[in-house]
Structure 1
Amino acid sequence: MEEEKKPFNDVIDHLNKIEGNPTNGDFKKLPKPLKYIGYVMIVLLLIPILLTIVFKLSN
Structure 2
Amino acid sequence: MNEENKPFNDVIDHFNKITGNATNPANAKISKLPKPLKFIGFFMIAFFSVAFILIMLLSLLK
How high is the TM-score relative to the length of structure 2? 0.57
The SS at the match of 1:22 is: coil
Tell me if 1:50 matches 2:49: no
Single out whichever of 19-28 and 8-17 deviates more from structure 2.
8-17
For residues 37 and 53 of structure 2, the distance between their equivalents in structure 1, rounded to whole angstroms, comes to 24
Runs of 4+ in 1 over 2 A off after TM superposition: 7-23
The number of equivalent residue pairs is: 55
Q: Given the superposition, is the C-alpha separation of residues 34 and 58 from structure 1 closer, same or farther in structure 2, using an over 3 Å criterion? A: same
Cα deviation per residue 1:3-45 (whole Å; 9 max; x = unaligned)? xx71585597677556543232122111111110101111221
Q: Which moved more, 1:11-20 or 1:42-51?
A: 11-20
TM-score (norm 1): 0.59
Structure 1: tracts of 5 or more residues without a match: none
Structure 2 unpaired stretches of 5+:
none
Bigger mean CA deviation after superposition, 49-58 or 18-27: 18-27
Give distance in 1, aligned partners of 2:5 and 2:44: 31
Question: Structure 1 residues 54, 13: CA separation in 2 closer, same or farther (over 3 Å shift)?
Answer: farther
